[in-house]
Every structure is written in C-alpha cells, then in structure tokens.
C-alpha cells in the first residue's frame, strides 16, 4: 500500500489530479479506503488505456474539511522491480488538473511531497482516518528505522485507555483499531513512542 496524505489542513468540494507512473516499474491495481473514498464520490480511470496514468476526480456536495496527515487514499501498488516512488510516480495535470476547489476555500493547486526512506526523516504520526469514527479507524505513522513502537490512547483526564506495542519495519506503518477496544467516547489523545521520541494527536470517538 502507498498512502497519499494531506500535507496541511484544508477543505474542498472537489479534488482532481492525474497520477502518471512508469509501467515498467510498477502497476496500480486499485485503491483501499481513505477519506476521499468515504466522504464523497471518487472516480478513477485510465485516460490513455496504456497503463501509465490514472485520472482522479473526487467531489462532495458539502464542503469537506481535511486534517494534516489524514489519509486521502491508499494506492494498491505492485512493484515490478526495485524502485524509487519519486522517480516512478508523479502527480500531474496531464488529463485532470491537479487542484482542489471549495465553495468557501476557493481554488488551490496540488503537489506531491515524497516521504521515502531517508535516515534524516523523523518519527511522524499522522491523523487517524476516518475521524471522527464510530466503527473502526486506522492510525498511520512513519518510522525512520526499524524497531519497537508503542501506541497509547488517553482520555481528557490523562487516563490510559489503550496500549499497543509492536515491532515494525522502517517506513510507513498502520495500526487498525476497532471501536469496541476503546471504552470511552468524545475527545481522545493518541501518542506514538519509538526510540525515545514521541508524537501526539487527537481523535474523536462517536457513540
């Protein structure tokens, strides 16, 4: 899975872009979840029938608000050879213009920032998706090196309500949570700790 994340907070009624890729290096076989799939209508098609581009159109009648680090979508990718995503996958305006439009927020251009395996990349915790949630959610994080990581959830009084520890590979990772595991509702703080570093974010649990 290759997650596409929102780099900053924002809102939109429509988002369009084209993903162009090297068909000798990879194949995009589908998408898995993400905010664009659950909070509006998402359409993806190959405008060339050559297997080297995907035109993406998303829209919602009501303007949707997205948080920094929230997963927009996850691409299901099959690598055909060792590759660098920044060289093999690009976001362009070739067939669908790379932009977002909101009735209140106006028009903004889109771009990709690649979070690849640099030793200098810090531990990064992303916004859970979906959020708020009443059934299940997933929490993404990036580890600059392989090792142990601990996810902790606390209520607004600082009481620990969930603790999950595991050993993970270097790079982007996800932890999936079911609502039944968390015996509270409302605002919850979640924290990832690894190699002496930590990051904290907030989520909202619905009844």
- Percentage of the chain lying above the pLDDT 90 cut: 47
| Secondary-structure class of domain 124-205 per CATH | mainly beta
Confidence of residue 78 (pLDDT cuts 50, 70, 90): confident
Out of 39-43, 49-53, 189-193, 201-205, the most confident range is: 189-193
Confidence of residue 170 (pLDDT cuts 50, 70, 90): confident
Task: Domain ranges for the chain, please list them.
Answer: 2-109, 124-205
C-alpha distances (whole Å) from 104 to each of 10, 14, 40, 61, 138 are 11, 12, 17, 13, 29
pTM, full prediction: 0.63
Domains 2-109 and 124-205 agree in fold: yes
The pLDDT of residue 154? 95
d(CA 207, CA 157): 19
Sign of CA dihedral 86, 2, 14, 204: negative
Asked if CATH classification 2.60.40.680 holds for the domain at 2-109, the reply, yes or no, is yes
The answer to whether residue 193 scores a pLDDT higher than 60 is yes
Phi, psi of 184 (to 5 degrees): -165, 180
d(CA 26, CA 24): 6
Span 116-139, mean pLDDT?
Answer: 76
């Amino acid at each position: 899975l290759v997650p596409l994340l929102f780099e900053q907070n924002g809102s939109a009624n429509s988002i369009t872009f084209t993903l162009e890729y090297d068909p000798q290096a990879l194949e995009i076989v589908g998408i898995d979840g993400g905010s664009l799939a659950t909070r509006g209508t998402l359409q993806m098609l190959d405008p060339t029938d050559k297997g080297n581009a995907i035109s993406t159109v998303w829209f919602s009648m009501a303007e949707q608000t997205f948080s920094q680090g929230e997963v927009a979508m996850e691409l299901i990718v099959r690598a055909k050879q060792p590759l660098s995503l920044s060289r093999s996958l690009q976001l362009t305006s070739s067939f669908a213009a790379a932009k977002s439009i909101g009735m209140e927020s106006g028009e903004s251009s889109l771009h990709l920032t690649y979070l690849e395996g640099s030793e200098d990349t810090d531990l990064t915790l992303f916004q859970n998706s979906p959020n708020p949630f009443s059934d299940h959610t997933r929490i993404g994080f990036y580890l600059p090196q392989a090792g142990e990581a601990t996810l902790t959830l606390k209520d607004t009084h600082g009481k620990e309500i969930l603790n999950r520890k595991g050993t993970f590979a270097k790079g982007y990772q996800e932890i999936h949570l079911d609502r039944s595991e968390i015996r509270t509702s409302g605002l919850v703080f979640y924290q990832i700790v690894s190699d002496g570093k930590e990051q904290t974010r907030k989520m909202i649990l619905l009844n």
